[in-house]
Structure 1
Amino acid sequence: MGVLMIQIPQDMTEVKVKLAQLEELGHESTEAQVIFEAISDNAQAILDEKLEGHYYSCALDKDTLTVYDVIQKPIGKIKAQSHSFEEDFRQNAPQLLMYLDQQIQKIVNQR
């Protein structure tokens, strides 16, 4: 029975575990890359949950998350609470995820 692979890290502890798991599999990655993917994947998961399916997408930049509709038209932007989403995640990942949830809900409600 294998160890359960962390799919989408929800905090820094899970980021460190995921990094170790990736290393074990021979994938080279940095903590910053794992955090970036964790934020992107969490945001997309929240978006999919709100819309009950994968209809909209989002793209993460250093301090801005842009939400796109079905035809890839930008419909909303979410700014990091600090200088960057990475910093927000490192400081308090659960709070960041709640913030993303609230902001994504606002964007979805506008549609």
Structure 2
Amino acid sequence: MLGVVRMDETSKLVPINMKEIEIKLAWYLSNNRIVTEREVILESILENIRSMIVDELEGPYWGAEWKVDDKQISVLDILGEEVGIIVPQDGSFIDEFKNNSPKLIDYLNEKVKKIVQNNY
């Protein structure tokens, strides 16, 4: 069946929409990990950016971390030096994810590409 995520695969799921956030949250709770929807969204945003970086650089050479939760993400080079900052378009990554996750994912992808092009 298309669109169905098996629970044993859910540990690797990087959500790109709220339905997948619900699936990931349920998986965490069923595995005795107490997390909030907010935490799962923040984790998912970072993991999506990290995946985009890997795709752009064809390897896991750079990283990303929250500089300010829900407000600023630092993109780090292989030495851990900040090479770029990504901020939300409308003030909150969480709100943007909840309201229009495809738009946010596209925006993040554009920002990652620009940071890589400017620093590589």
Normalising by the residue count of structure 2, what TM-score does the alignment of the two structures yield? Answer: 0.86
Alignment of structure 1 residues 33-52 onto 2, 5 Å: 33-52=39-58
- What is residue 18 of structure 2 aligned with on the other side? 12
> Secondary structure of 1:45's match?
helix
Alignment of structure 1 residues 1-111 onto 2, 5 Å: 3=7, 4-5=9-10, 7-60=13-66, 61=68, 62-111=70-119
Number of residue pairs matched? 110
Counterpart residue identity of residue 73, structure 2: L
What do the CA deviations read for 1:81-107 (whole angstroms, capped 9, x no partner)? 112111111111111110000011000
Q: Which runs of at least 4 in structure 1 moved beyond 4 Å after TM superposition? A: none
Counterpart residue identity of residue 92, structure 2: S
Q: CA RMSD in A?
A: 1.2
The separation in 2 between residues aligned to 1:7 and 1:41, in whole angstroms, is 10
The separation in 1 between residues aligned to 2:65 and 2:92, in whole angstroms, is 14
CA shift at 1:64, angstroms?
1.0
Matched residues, percent identical?
30
Counterpart residue identity of residue 51, structure 1: L
Please list every run of 5 or more consecutive structure 1 residues that lacks an aligned counterpart in the other structure.
none
Counterpart residue identity of residue 108, structure 2: L
What do the CA deviations read for 1:26-62 (whole angstroms, capped 9, x no partner)? 1111000000000010010001110000001111232
The separation in 2 between residues aligned to 1:13 and 1:81, in whole angstroms, is 22
- Between 29-38 and 17-26, the greater mean CA deviation after superposition: 17-26
The separation in 2 between residues aligned to 1:84 and 1:53, in whole angstroms, is 29
